[in-house]
Structure 1
Amino acid sequence: MLQAAGWVALRNMSEAMLAIGRAIEMLAEGDARLPSAYNTRASYKNKTGDYSGAAADAGEAIKRDPAMADAYYQRSVALKKLGRSSASLADIKTAAELKPSDYKNLYDMGLREMGEEGGAAVPAGSESALQKAWSRLRAAAGGVLPFLIGVAGASLFAGGVLFFAKEGSSAHRIKKRWFTPVPAGAEGQVIGNGRYLIKEELGRGGMGTVNAAWDKELERLVAVKSMNPELLSNEDHRRRFVKEGKMVAQLRHPNIVDVYAICDEPGGLFIVFAYVKGKTVQDLLTAGPERRLKPAQADEIGRAVAKAIDYAHAGNVIHRDLKPGNVMIDEHGQVKVMDFGIARQLDHAHTTMTNVVVGTQPYMAPEQAMGVVTKQSDVYSLGVIMYQLLTGSLPFAGENSYQDKLDGRFPQPSELLPSLPPAVDLVFKKVLHPDHKERYKNCAEFVEVLKASLNI
């Protein structure tokens, strides 16, 4: 992410935001850097005038770190610009309580501007005291470069994201709690020759924003990803966005989220997906105190993922970011692999790709960190997922995790969980081998051998 820091220095905000968005997609849930990542993007969106987006990102930061004073400040700035003065003042008050040295004076200024604590309306055309203090408080908050440098291992070349809807999900909780989730003017927009009516916002990624939409022709909910406005003028980004949609649209499989349409219109660039309702495998892991699944349940999930990935590989498509958060169980119990947003298609004459570093570090094969990706890289990632589902732990964690990957050194599953047969250790030794040529040839082979070793 050092290159992203360079974009900041060069004041290229669109590239900087794109880089931060990719980092957000790659950081695992629970990573201590994730709140700062969301907050950094919120600050950029405030600077570029995307106030709805800034409010949403600041809210994501607050959800993960309720004590992050600057996130309340960023949301306060955004809400002020959206005309929600009372809510803005409430946020800056929270920021002042959390960090008086930086925000107390600003809160007092806000009170004076509001006229009284109850919140008198700000006269039209008057300049916000919050905005006047922008530069001073940005300096006090420490800026964004430390965060960018701190995630230097993250990729600059990840793509967009697909959306999954969850009952009781953070997106729904946040929407009910405080912010208007749809960018100004987006809700009610009609795309696809009048077929799709855009509804509320569901999620955001490095390449675009995902909204629910109503398919008026088939009378069903769908998900629509719209390309970020700041990227529309970049032809490379447009081509990549469309290529992603076309590539995934070719993958028609019951365990892969469907793409219905690609709409390239004067009002924007859109991909229409299936609207999937359910829970991610990550949700299942975090729901229980042991943070693991029963072997039979893990096997069922692993076999479904294997079918999806091997199908994609047959079309020379590599996912490159398999992780529990990208595997969903829908309301009917069907396993769905999501987020082919950073997938890439191999040349039919080759089995590897180079100069591309993407993925989520704990699940990433060691060769991916060096810019080399093979089909066995996905097999490796599935191996990490299955290890986590069975043991409740990641095989590679801590400061030396990358070197441990290169050495093939990780705790034996049977040592972490004595109820697992020792034969399981040999299966993971092979699937997590540092040399991709020594791994299982495909996902199906891996899950079959694993099932046999588990005696289920």
Structure 2
Amino acid sequence: MQQGQITLPTGVTVRDPDGGHYVIEAVLSKEQTGAVYLVRQKSEPQKHFSLKEIITPTERERKHFLLEGQLLRQLDHPSLPRVYRSFEHDSLKRVYLLMDYIQGQSLDVLRAQHSNQRLPLSLILTLLSPIVDALIYLHRQEPPVLHRNIKPTNIIVRDRAHPPVLIDFGMAKLFIAGTTTGFFKGTLGYAAPEQYMGTTSPRTDVYGLAATFYALLTGTLPTSAVSRLRSPNRDPLKPASQLVPSLPPVVDQALQRALSLNSEERYPTVAAFWHDITAGANISSNPLLIAAPHTSSNEPEMVMSPSQPGQGHAPRKWRPSIFLLIVLGLLLIILLSIILVSRIYG
């Protein structure tokens, strides 16, 4: 069956079990397993969402997709789209994930607008810092959430008031050691070798993040893991420094390690990779790269350099309100005492 035949046409309404009706306005992307649609809520036409679709899933895939949808609903981070619900449509034999529709330019479009179709190192660090914090947040969930499709087209830059957003959770997976997906999920050039075997871990996202960094920095698509595996004697992936001679050596080495074909040779975490990248770029004193990563309402606020995003909390901010109340109270007592004394001896 061809993709053109299985994707739903514009104007079709998809109904969820709770009575919500969503009208398809456009196809945002297509895959072998389904599509992502731009939809509007029929009862409130001004509201738009992204609707991720999986077509004719197996029973195992259906249960897994719906379960992961329930868990993704609990995520709350400014650089991640909110997931509202997952549901299935029996007559269409499809399952769906309803998410925020994020408007803006992708990093791939932004890259193409720059000279030589690549971004300067300082700008890449600024744009990717919130994404790194989002990935650290995902990997710290129980169980960890893997994105598995990090690439420039899946990072949307909005206005200056909002951080970039990592979109497309259609390939997200809960990491449970020893489990597999059974088939390839990912994008050539950005997918780690283990994705072709259906086995992934947090190190898979390290590879995807490094491949994204490489593409933005050099303006070239990284050589696919398959092509690299077919050339064991000479890696066809050129070091980034060959394409960008001014690149600091430590940054170049960090990228090469993060793009290792052997997952055990990569950085174990996104935070460790980002630490070496920012340390090598020597940007710890750059105020543009100081981010305030997302925290939940019951956690203390923290401000940190992206050299170690998401690691540890800064001391609680001093709140002067109680101190000021005490001072004002003392001043009031003194004032009343002066008035009382003046009346007695006046």
Please tell me the TM-score bracket, short chain as reference: 0.5 to 0.7
Q: Is this contact kept in 1: 2:53–2:97, CA < 8 A?
A: yes
Query: Which residue, 124, 142, 145 being the options, matches 1:298?
Result: 124
Instruction: Give the structure 1 partner of residue 108 of structure 2.
Output: 282
Structure 1 residue 236: Cα displacement: 4.3
Cα offset for 1:376?
0.8
**Contact 1:346/1:353 (CA < 8 Å) preserved in 2?**
no
What's the RMSD between the two structures over aligned residues?
Answer: 3.3
Is 2:166 the partner of 1:340?
Answer: no
Q: Is 1:322 matched with 2:147? A: no
1:291–1:392 contact (8 Å) kept in structure 2: yes
- 1:221 corresponds to which residue? 48
Q: Which deviates the most, 410-419 or 199-208?
A: 199-208
1:416 Cα deviation after fit: 1.4
2:80 is equivalent to residue 256 of structure 1: yes
* Alignment-derived partner of residue 201 in structure 2: 374
Question: In the alignment, is the contact (CA less than 8 A) between 2:149 and 2:191 conserved in 1?
Answer: yes
Rounded to whole Å, the distance in 1 between the matches of 2:268 and 2:194 is: 16
Residue in 2 that maps onto 1:453: 280
Q: Which residue of 2 aligns with 1:200?
A: 25
Aligned partners of 2:222 and 2:22: how far apart in 1? Answer: 45
Please give the alpha-carbon distance, in whole angstroms, between the structure 2 residues aligned to 1:270 and 1:365. 26
Task: Give the counterpart letter for 1:335 in structure 2.
Answer: P
Compared with structure 1, are the counterparts of its residues 396 and 451 closer, same or farther at alpha carbon in structure 2 (3 Å cutoff)? same
Amino acid corresponding to residue 363 of structure 1 in structure 2:
Y
Cα pair distance change 1:432/1:351, threshold 3 Å:
farther
Distance in 1 between residues matched to 2:232 and 2:140, nearest whole Å: 27
Q: Which secondary structure state, in structure 1, belongs to the residue aligned with residue 268 of structure 2?
A: coil
Q: How does 1:113-124 map to 2 (within 5 A)?
A: none
| Distance apart, 1:445 and its partner CA | 1.8
Give the stretch that moved more between structures: 254-263 or 400-409. 400-409
The residue identity in structure 1 corresponding to 2:26 is E
Report the count of equivalent residues: 276
Superposed displacement of residue 259, structure 1: 0.7
Greater shift in the superposed pair: 208-217 or 414-423:
208-217
Identical aligned residues as a percent? 27
Counting only pairs closer than 5 Å after superposition, residues 48-67 of structure 1 correspond to structure 2 as none
Structure with a larger share of its residues in helix: 1
Equivalent-residue separation in structure 2 for 1:298 and 1:255 (angstroms): 16
Contact 2:79 2:166 in 1 (8 A): yes
Which residue number corresponds to residue 189 of structure 2? 362
Name 1:385's counterpart in structure 2: 212
Alignment-derived partner of residue 430 in structure 1: 257
1:163-198 per-residue CA deviation (whole Å, 9 max, x = no partner) reads xxxxxxxxxxxxxxxxxx515xx25x6656444452
Displacement, 1:274?
0.9
Letter in 2 for 1:288: H
Where does the alignment leave 5 or more consecutive residues of structure 1 unmatched?
Answer: 1-12, 18-40, 54-180
- Structure 1 counterpart of 2:67, which letter? K
Deviations 1:260-308 (A, max 9, x none): 1234466765432112111111111222341211212101222222222
Contact map agreement 2:108 2:216 (CA 8 A) in 1: no
Is 2:41 the partner of 1:211? Answer: no
Q: 1:324 is matched by which residue type in structure 2?
A: P
Alpha-carbon distance, 1:437 to partner: 1.9
Instruction: For 2:110 and 2:229, locate their aligned partners in 1 and report how far apart those are by CA, in whole Å.
Output: 27
Contact map agreement 1:326 1:339 (CA 8 A) in 2: yes
Distance in 2 between the 1:405 and 1:253 partners? 40
**Over residues 201-249 of structure 1, what are the superposed CA-to-partner deviations in whole Å (9 max), with x where a residue is unaligned?**
3435333452321374797333334554xx28x6445434423422422
Shift, 1:336, TM fit: 1.2
Please give the secondary structure, in 2, of the residue aligned with 1:201: strand
